[in-house]
Structure 1
Amino acid sequence: MAFFTGKVALVTGGSSGIGRATAVAFARQGAKVVVASRRVAEGEETIGLVKAAGSEGFFIKTDVTNEADIKTMVEKTITAYDRLDYACNSAGMEQQPTPITEQTEETFDQIVNINFKGIWLSMKHQISQMLQNGGGAIVNISSAAAIRPIPGIHLYNASKEAVLGLTKSVALDYAKSGIRVNAICPGGVKTEMFERFTKDNPQAADAIIQMHPMGRVGESEEIADGVVWLCSDQASFVTGQILAIDGGFILQ
C-alpha cells in the first residue's frame, strides 16, 4: 500500500541526483510531486519520471537563494493542490578542494547561500504552510562531511554542518505543531555533483570510494528511500535526528 496517497511533496534540487530520485520515490508512494530547480529541461525530465511512476506533478523554476522564488514555489504548490505535506530540501553545490588562503568571498557567498541559506528560506515558507495544514514532515539533505570533514572543502563542510544545527533547532520549535524536521547525511553518492568533483581525476574518485568501508559510493535511490521513510508514519516519533546513509564513511 502506498504511504502517501492523497499527499503532496515538494522537492528542491529535483532536476538530478538525490532530488530527482526522491521525487520519483515520493511518486511511487502515491504523492503528487512538485519539483523545484534552476534547470528547466532537467526539471521537466524529472516530472516525466514522476508521471511514469504513476503519479502527477509539475516543475517550477526556482533559485533557492531568492526568497521571492521560494515564496512563489510554495504558493504555486498550494494553488495547484491546496496542501503541502512533505518537503525534501536537496538543492546544493560542491566545492573543489582549495587552501583557505586561496578561497574567495565569491565562492563563500555562493556555497553558503545555496547550501545553507537556501534550506533556511525553504523551511521558512514550507513551515508557514504546514502550520495551516496542521502538520507535515521536512527532510534536509546535509552531508557526511558535516560529521567527518573532508580536507580542503572547508566551506562545503561548514555549510552542511550548519544545516544540521538549523534542522535540530527548528525541529525543537515545531515538534508540538505536528511538523517533524530531520536531516540525512549522505556519504559519496553517484550523482552529477560527484562526477564534477572527480572530473579528470580518477585518483580522487578512488580515494573517495576508499573512504567508505563498504567499498563503494551510494546510489541516489538509497538516499531517497531514507527520505521516504523519514516522511512516513513509520517515523512518526522521529524529529530533529541526523540519519547517516554513508556506507560507513563517518565510522573511520
Structure 2
Amino acid sequence: MKLTQGHTLITGATRGIGRAIAELLAERGEPVLGIARSGDDTFPGPLLLADLLDAAQRREVLAEAASLHGILRLVNNAGFNHMQPLGAITDDARSRILDLNIAVAIDAAQAVLPGMAAAGTGRIVNIASRSLLARAGGSVYSAAKAALVGLTRSWALELASQGITVNCVAPGPVATEMFERNNPPHLARSRALVEAIPVARLGTPQEVAHAVDYFLSPHAAYTTGQTLFVCGGASISQIRL
C-alpha cells in the first residue's frame, strides 16, 4: 500500500534488515533516505554518511536529514552486538552497544519529531530483537533491546495526540551479517540454534521488512505502543539463544 507523503528515514540502512526495508519501499516508489557509516552506490535513495557512535556526527547528520527531506517515517534500525558473558563485559563494548541501540534511537526520534508534529502525522518503528527476553552471554544487548521496547511504549503515549504512532519489531534469528558474525554457521551450537527454532530455519531480512512496512502504513493508524516478534516462534519456545 502506498504510504503517505514525506520520506522514510532508515538508520543502519545499507545492510541486512535496513537494506531490505529500503528496497521494499523503493520498489513501490516510496522515497527513502538512509544513514550509514560507509557509502553504497546501489542504495535505492539518498544516503547520508556518518559514524552514529560519534555524537557530534550523529546530531549533524540527523539535523541535515530532518531539514532537507521532510521525514514523516523513521525506522530506528542501527544496532550493534558483541557477545560477552557478565564477567567479561568491557567498557568499550558496553558503551558501543548502549549508544548505538538506545542513544541513536533517541536522537533520531528527537530530530524528526518537530516535522512530524507540524504535519500532524508520523510513524516511528524501532527494531529490537527476540534477545530482549534474555540472552545468555549477551546481557548488555538484551538490556538495550528491552530498553527500546520501553521507549516505544512511552513515546506511543506521549505522541498519540499528535497523530504519531510508535511501534517495535523484534526479529528472531535472521540471516544477516551481524547474526552470522556472532553465530558462525560452521559451529555446532549455531546449527543447534537454527534447529531449535520452531519453524526450523532462519528468518530473512525481507520477512522482517514486511512487518515494518505494516507499521509504517496508514493501515496501522490505530496500532501504537506494540511489539511484534518476527521470530519463527522463538519468543514462545524453549530455545536458548
TM-score exceeds 0.5: yes
Q: Which residue matches 2:49?
A: 61
Cα distance between partner residues in 1 of 2:196 and 2:111: 37
1:9 maps to amino acid: T
Residues 124 and 65 from structure 1, CA distance in 2 versus in 1: closer, same or farther, beyond 3 angstroms? farther
Cα distance between partner residues in 1 of 2:202 and 2:62: 33
Equivalent residue of 2:8, what SS?
strand
Q: Cα RMSD over matched residues?
A: 1.7
Cα distance between partner residues in 1 of 2:4 and 2:225: 25
Residues 70 and 107 from structure 1, CA distance in 2 versus in 1: closer, same or farther, beyond 3 angstroms? closer
Residues 79 and 120 from structure 1, CA distance in 2 versus in 1: closer, same or farther, beyond 3 angstroms? closer
Tell me if 1:226 matches 2:211. yes
Q: Which residue matches 1:91?
A: 78
* Paired residues, number: 237
Q: Which residue matches 1:152?
A: 137
1:1-252 equivalent positions in 2, closer than 5 A: 2-4=1-3, 6-41=5-40, 44-45=41-42, 47=43, 50=44, 57-81=45-69, 83-96=70-83, 98-147=84-133, 149-199=134-184, 201-252=186-237
Note the C-alpha offset of 1:133. Answer: 2.2
TM-score, length of structure 2 as denominator length: 0.92
Equivalent residue of 1:158, what SS?
helix
Residues 5 and 127 from structure 1, CA distance in 2 versus in 1: closer, same or farther, beyond 3 angstroms? closer
Cα distance between partner residues in 1 of 2:74 and 2:203: 22
Equivalent residue of 1:238, what SS?
coil
1:199 maps to amino acid: P
Note the C-alpha offset of 1:161. Answer: 0.5
Note the C-alpha offset of 1:69. Answer: 3.2
Contact kept in structure 1, 2:9 and 2:32, CA below 8 Å = yes
Residues 224 and 193 from structure 1, CA distance in 2 versus in 1: closer, same or farther, beyond 3 angstroms? same
Equivalent residue of 1:85, what SS?
strand
Unpaired segments ≥5 residues, structure 1: 51-56
Note the C-alpha offset of 1:30. Answer: 2.4
Residues 153 and 170 from structure 1, CA distance in 2 versus in 1: closer, same or farther, beyond 3 angstroms? same
Cα distance between partner residues in 2 of 1:210 and 1:88: 30
2:221 maps to amino acid: S
Note the C-alpha offset of 1:7. Answer: 3.1
Residues 238 and 95 from structure 1, CA distance in 2 versus in 1: closer, same or farther, beyond 3 angstroms? same
- CA deviation digits over 1:88-143, x for unaligned, max 9? 110001222x3211211111111111111111111111213211222210100000
TM-score, length of structure 1 as denominator length: 0.88
Note the C-alpha offset of 1:79. Answer: 4.8
Cα distance between partner residues in 1 of 2:150 and 2:181: 27
Q: After alignment, is 196-205 or 241-250 more displaced? A: 196-205
1:152 maps to amino acid: G
Contact kept in structure 2, 1:144 and 1:185, CA below 8 Å = yes
Equivalent residue of 2:46, what SS?
strand
Note the C-alpha offset of 1:203. Answer: 1.6
Cα distance between partner residues in 1 of 2:111 and 2:66: 12
Note the C-alpha offset of 1:159. Answer: 0.7
Equivalent residue of 1:194, what SS?
helix
Equivalent residue of 2:203, what SS?
coil
Q: After alignment, is 206-215 or 107-116 more displaced? A: 206-215
